[in-house]
């Protein structure tokens, strides 16, 4: 399955919807989208990974790169993910300590609202 990307804004939060496979072939598209969003002043990003079938280290690198970019603007990049096979990759690499990971978009929005 290819990668489908979409995004929309809710208040100060930009929600990025990701569907399909994030690998060495498709990850550059996600990287471009994150860079474009930051360049346009979207510094609080929530990446919804509930429809991601596959994520490899290239995808992790793109997410870390996005986090670095938003942090440079005092922003945030958080994730929505409940799939064990995807969460396992974050645990193996220790990235569960780096990203805020939520069980739903609503939960993430609520946490974002509290932190504002």
Partner 1 sequence: MATVELTFSALPAHVRTARLLATAIARRTGVEESLLDEVRLAVGEACSRAVEAHRLHCPGEPIRIELCDDSGRFEVIVTDSAPSDELEQGRDYSSIRFDDPLGQLPGTLMSGFGIAVIVGLADDVEVYPSQKGMRIRMSWPAAAGGLSPV
Q: Is 35 in the site for partner 1 (CB under 8 A)?
A: no
When the beta carbons of 8 and 94 are compared against partner 1, the nearer one is 94
Site for partner 1 in 56-95 (CB under 8 A): 56-58, 60-61, 64-65, 67-68, 71, 85, 88-89, 92-95
Residue 72, helix vs strand vs coil? coil
Whole-angstrom distance, CA of residue 57 vs CA of residue 42: 25
Closest CB 11 distance from partner 1, rounded Å: 26
Contacts of 78 (CB under 8 A, 6+ apart): 45, 46, 47, 99, 100, 101, 102, 108, 111, 112
> Which parts of this chain interact with partner 1 (CB under 8 A)?
21, 23-25, 54, 56-58, 60-61, 64-65, 67-68, 71, 85, 88-89, 92-95, 98
């Amino acid at each position: 399955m290819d990668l489908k990307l979409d995004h929309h804004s809710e208040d100060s939060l930009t929600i990025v919807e990701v569907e399909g496979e994030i690998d060495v072939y498709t990850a550059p598209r996600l990287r471009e989208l994150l860079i474009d969003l930051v360049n346009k002043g979207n510094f609080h990003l929530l990446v919804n990974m509930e429809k991601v079938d596959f994520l490899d280290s290239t995808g992790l690198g793109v997410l870390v790169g996005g986090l670095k970019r938003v942090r440079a603007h005092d922003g945030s990049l958080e994730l929505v993910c409940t799939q064990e096979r995807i969460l396992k990759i974050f645990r193996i690499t220790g990235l569960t300590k780096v990203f805020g990971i939520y069980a739903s978009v609503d939960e993430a929005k609520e946490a974002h609202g509290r932190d504002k």
